[in-house]
Amino acid sequence: MEWFGYLVEFLLNLLSLNGGSIFSLFKSILNGKVVRPQRNTETYISAIGHLDGRIDLYKLQAPSTHDDPSSDANGGNGEVIKNNNVFDVGDDRCLMDLSMMASKLAYENAKVVRNIVLHHWKMHFVEFFNCWNDFQKEKSTQVFILCDKPVDANLILISFRGTEPFDADDWSTDFDYSWYDIPKLGKVHMGFLEALGLGNRDQVTTFHNHLQAVGGRGVCSANKQSDSDDSKSSFPDEDAKSDATGKKRLLPEMVEMTAYYAVRSKLRQLLNEHKNAKFIVTGHSLGGALAILFPSVLVLHEEMEMMNRLLCVYTFGQPRVGDRKLGRYMEAHLNYPTPRYFRVVYCNDLVPRLPYDNRTFLFKHFGPCLYYNSLYIQKEVEEEPNPNFYGIKFLIPEYLNAAWELARSLTMGYTHGPEYKEGWFCILSRIMGLALPGISAHCPTDYVNSVRLGRMLSSSFYSSSR
């Protein structure tokens, strides 16, 4: 599957770098001017990037007073105003669009991310992390951090990469039903904890050692460390060494290899540097699960000063991460006195319906769900329709909806403008969605469209999000 993915991405980049069509590529071959794709360069785009090629941010702006009063806040027909030079941190819709675009950008390599953040978004790129998953024995968790500006920033954004379409390990993590019961927190998806670097099911005690609150560092840190020296947090396994007291301490290089500790350390440093900044955590798919678990573990580790600087968490197409106890615990910290966690779900997306919410598996969503139907009409609900994605009564509507989405993809460029035109690779995914509608609905394309074309969210939502 991995090698097939390499081949697909190579061919997609080969076409895009040589005119974007078979004819242009053939012409380049005849002229001896073929541009060969190079992995891990600024021009090598992921399969997700080819599904949706939009990279610029948009500023959703209400119409001026002389506009037609019957038009909505998006210009009446979903119109958005492009603004690549100014980003309004105080605009919640702007933050939502930034979060979705950052979630999509997280699928790219570090050089692509840096280039887009600096030259298209006009923001400050901080760092790209390629983090170790001890269960999978590889660096399978990716996350990047940006600030809205390099000095005296107001906003810090953390974006976790989601499920890569040709990564079997990512898909196995999504479909995993294993959980670890944390006494104070509740049952938490074991695969997502492993992706954050908080344990290994082959050594179950590692979860216990990471997921207890002692001095805000976890039980491993018997010696309380300074906030600026997170590299001395300790681990209980063979990667650690003993200090003079006999306690286990994690080697500094291992801290940098695990997502939770590396991101927490960098975030603490940034919050110290930018005294007025607040931070957002976001992600699509698997990245959404990691985005909500990251602050959950911060709360468990009693990092309350850091949590007080959390502006919000936006997740898109996020799978379930734990049970009802986890939900109650985190709602008390994230949704009071005002909501700070928003889970965005598009229509028949399969992934938010996993793992199953039934008597056997007990996985539950929590927090408000911003649900968009196939017409990009948004409403806030407790749970998306058909929460477990099965049942005869849903079968026919799902396939009819997939056919509608395919037909819509052929006309989006005409009805909503050229920036919404879907390429052949995206249309191909829509065709594949006729076999399993929930897979094509998981693509970032519809999430970007939902944010930008959806009806204006109610004023009560925006006032409550602060």
The residues annotated as belonging to the active site are 285, 349, 442
Q: Would you state the structure tokens that stand for residue 413, as one six-digit string?
A: 């460029």
Helix (H) or strand (E) holding 47: helix 47-51
Positions of E strands within 215-337: 240-242, 248-250, 278-284, 310-316
N- to C-terminal Cα separation, the chain: 43
Cβ neighbours of residue 395 under 8 Å, at least 6 residues apart? Answer: none
Specify the residue for token string 């991460």: 321
Q: Are 229 and 218 in contact (CB under 8 A)?
A: no
Specify the residue for token string 């570090």: 110
How far is CA 374 from each of CA 105, 132, 245, 401, rounded to the nearest angstrom? 23, 37, 60, 7
Positions of E strands within 62-174: 81-82, 124-133, 138-147, 155-160
Helix (H, G, I), strand (E, B) or coil at 203: strand
How far is CA 259 from each of CA 38, 213, 287, rounded to the nearest angstrom? 27, 18, 12
Q: Is 196 exposed, middle or buried (0-12, 13-18, 19+ CB in 10 A)?
A: buried
Tell how many helices (H) and how many strands (E) occur in the chain.
19, 14
DSSP 439-450: HHTTSHHHHHHH
Centroid of chain to Cα 297: 17
> Closest Cα partner for 369 from 341, 391, 390, 388?
341
Which residue type is seen at 23?
A: F
Positions of E strands within 261-393: 278-284, 310-316, 341-346, 369-372, 378-381
Across 14-45, b (16+ Cβ under 10 Å) vs e yields ebbbbeeeeeebeebeeeeeeeebeeeebebb
Q: Would you state the structure tokens that stand for residue 458, as one six-digit string?
A: 């109610």
> Closest Cα partner for 260 from 111, 133, 113?
133
Cβ neighbours of residue 105 under 8 Å, at least 6 residues apart? Answer: 55, 112, 113, 116, 117, 144, 159
